[in-house]
Each structure stands twice: as C-alpha cells, then as structure tokens.
Chains A and B, each alone.
Chain A
C-alpha cells in the first residue's frame, strides 16, 4: 500500500466506472471539443450569477458520471470535491444537490487529482464502495475572485493563463468496467519564491517536477513506463521549464510523451488564452474527457496525471507573499 514516503500503490486497483465533463464556449472551440460530454454555448448558462453557473456545471458533470456508471445518487458513499471559490462553495452546493456524504478538499488547480487520489484510497481500502471525485472552475468566478472584474480592461502579460470554464467528475468503484487507478503520489508544497500571480506556470513547475521525481523513485519506474505523463496546467511557460528541470536532474523524460492539459485544452496559437489553460477544470476535463477516451481506445495504456496547483489567495499575494505550489500524481492504466 504505502511505498516510500508518499506513494500509494493500490493493491486492489479501483476502477473509474463513469465520468462526466462539462465545459464552456471557449473549450468548445478548442481542439478537444468532441471529447466533452456537454458544451455550453455561453458563459452564463442562463444563470443569474457566475457562481451559480459554475455550480450548475458541476452538478451536470456528476449527473452525467452517475448515468454513465448506471448508478443512482444514493449509491455514492462519499463525494470528494473542491474548487477555487472561497470556502469551496461550488462543490458544497453541488454536494447538497447530490445528497452524498461529502469531504471537501482544496488543492487549487490540483484538486482534480487530489480528490481522485482520495476517492481511490477510500475505495481500495474498503472505506467506500463507490466514491465520486469532482471539481470545477469558471473563468469569470476565478477572474472575479483572484484578479479584476471580468469586464475590466486590464492587459494580461503573455505569461498569464486562462481559467478553464468547466467541471469534471469521476465515479470510482471497487470493480466494474473502465480504467484502473493503480497508484497515487501526494505532493508537498514547493515555493521557490516566485510572486507574480500572472505567471503561475513558472511558480508551479518545481512542484510538478518534485512530485514526478518522487513518484518515479518510490515506484521504481522510469518515465518510459508511462505512455504519457501529463501535467495539469503549466501551460506554455511552465511546461518547458518543468521539462528542462527534469532533464537537469537526470530524469529521462524523453522516454515518454510529456504533455500538459493547459496546452491540450486550447489551440493557443488561435485562441486568446495567453500561455494556455488553467483552473481545476483544466486537468479534470482533459483527463476525464479526452485522456480517458484515449485509454479506452487503446491509444494510451498507462497514464500519469500530475495536477498542479498554485495555492495563493488574493490576500497572500497582496501582502507580498510568494506563491506556494503543489502537485498530486495519479496513475491510471487501462
């Protein structure tokens, strides 16, 4: 079970029996549009506030995941979820609708894999028969909370990232058809003193590298064991930095496809998203939508998702604090 200091090898690998992904209009114009279950043509989703729109997407994602798993709501023992909004209210309201026992978690944009790792742990240890992991983010709720009003005319630098509007949920079960979660490595806080909230890719890259190295070391695997190692939302600035850091530390990352959800979700040459995507929904929708479809089709067999999170708050960066970052890794195999 526990291997090394922080890796769980699941003796009875839990199965992802159903997933749901819901996205907004910009993701719907991106290259992965066809892999999402539901694409909303507008940001408001006919809701009176951005927050309600985000909550609705998370509710829809969990409904879709349940229907794909052919389960009713009352079968879910635990719902593990979180999001970016203060006091993780999107997840809490979605959990209220779901009516399942609820464990709220916060890992900023790494919440997707943090919740999936915990759901897998609950199921594999027999603490749950069915657990659901879910997370969401909305471009406008994130802008409102972390930056400026959405319609405020500020110029973003090329290192900034564009928060993905969407939600992803996965139902994890002891048995069934679907990809298996074989291991997870929990991240630790890495803070190398970067302070620019408009450049979170650079801040998060060391966290991704630290978790990838720990995962490979503790499992005794080479990068080539995986068909793909994908980071959460390092985007066009942070991802090459992470690749360079790995090479510098002697990890032969070229053995595998090393990619990033923030680069996959948008066409960054055409769409106006600066460095690429970010947000909880970035790694959640790309993993649960796009990557699990590639696992199902046999294009990929072994996948390591390393979701990255910048654990800053508007208060902490205004007070001049640097950005503490984290990354959680989960391996999923077909």
Chain B
C-alpha cells in the first residue's frame, strides 16, 4: 500500500472546492451554445415550405371544388393534419423536427404531431387511461392558454366596441 505523504502524490489532490456559482460559470464557458441563427434560418425555410404546401392544397380545393378561400380553409387544415399524422406514424416527423426546430413546431402540423405522438406512445397503457388520458398531454397547454388568450382578446374587442 502506498504511503500517504503530504505535499505530493494522491494525498495532495485537493478535494473539489468550487461554489455552485463558480462552477456554473466554469461549465458555461465549456458548453456548446445552441446554433440560434442557423435554427432561425431552418425554421424560416421549413415553416415557410409547410405553409407553401398548405397554400397549394388550399388552391387545389378552390379550383377543384369551386370553394372560396374561407371555405377551403377547413379541408386544407384537415389535409395538413393528415400529412403530419402520417409522417409521425412513419417515425419521420421527429427526425425532420430535429433539423427544422420551430419550423415544424409552430404550424398546425406541429399541434397534430404533439397529439399523435402522445397517442402512439401511451397506446400500451390502454385506450382510456393511455390514449384518451394522454393525448392532450402536450397539446393541452396550447388549448388552455389559447382559450385564455382568446378570452382576453374578446374583452379587448368588447371594450373597444369592435364586433363582427
């Protein structure tokens, strides 16, 4: 067994002595940062591309079924949701999202992905306690805060006397 002499060798190894603040700064200078600019560019391109497809679908409904742009809105959203759900089920959507970031999260396709992925994930716990209870696990907060926001916007409209 090696002897423990003070001043050199293992006995002299100082114990870890850093305050949390010091360490957080130490670690921060060594952490790679998120590529914010590249993420913005990708989100712009992919988000824009999804909207471009949506626009194409809408034009199709307007031309093929003689709809107004307002009438074509709902079937267009349904088609976009269907595409998103199919891509989620094929296991592709999350791979695109890792590259695209907010580009795939913000459009309606992201909302569909959040519900579909939760439903698939919790299918093993049954239809009621699994799929039913967990489907809105991620989408639920969008609905809650969307409704709350709509309430306050409605109040502003009422105060300003704006009505349809």
Q: Which 3 A-B pairs have the closest CB atoms?
A: A153-B97, A220-B2, A149-B121
Partner of B114, one of A152, A199, A206: A152
Assuming A220-B4, A237-B32, A241-B27, is B12 touching A151 (CB within 8 A)? no
List A contacts of B13 (CB < 8 A): 213, 216-217, 249-251
Bound form: Cα–Cα A219–B100 in Å? 51
User: Across the interface, do A153 and B93 meet the contact criterion of CB distance under 8 Å?
Assistant: yes
Tally chain B residues at the interface, Cβ within 8 Å.
52
Q: Give per-residue flags for A151-176: 1 if the beta carbon is below 8 A from chain B beta carbons, else 0.
A: 11111111100000000000000000
List B contacts of A193 (CB < 8 A): 20-21, 23-24
Assuming A202-B27, A202-B31, is B18 touching A150 (CB within 8 A)? no
Partner of A249, one of B3, B14, B31: B14
Assuming A159-B32, A222-B10, is B138 touching A152 (CB within 8 A)? yes
Kindly state whether residue B160 has any CB partner on chain A within 8 Å: no
Partner of B98, one of A190, A192, A220, A272: A272
Kindly state whether residue B30 has any CB partner on chain A within 8 Å: yes
Tally chain A residues at the interface, Cβ within 8 Å.
45
Instruction: Give min CB distance, A157 to chain B, whole Å.
Output: 5
List A contacts of B101 (CB < 8 A): 155
Partner of A51, one of B31, B124, B138: B124
User: Across the interface, do A241 and B117 meet the contact criterion of CB distance under 8 Å?
Assistant: no
List B contacts of A249 (CB < 8 A): 13-17
12 A–B pairs (Cβ distance < 8 Å), ordered by A: A149-B120, A149-B122, A150-B94, A150-B121, A152-B97, A153-B98, A153-B113, A155-B98, A159-B32, A193-B20, A206-B23, A219-B10
The closest CB in chain B to the CB of A191 belongs to B20
Q: Give per-residue flags for B94-138: 1 if the beta carbon is below 8 A from chain A beta carbons, else 0.
A: 101110111011000010011011101110100000000000011
User: Across the interface, do A217 and B138 meet the contact criterion of CB distance under 8 Å?
Assistant: no
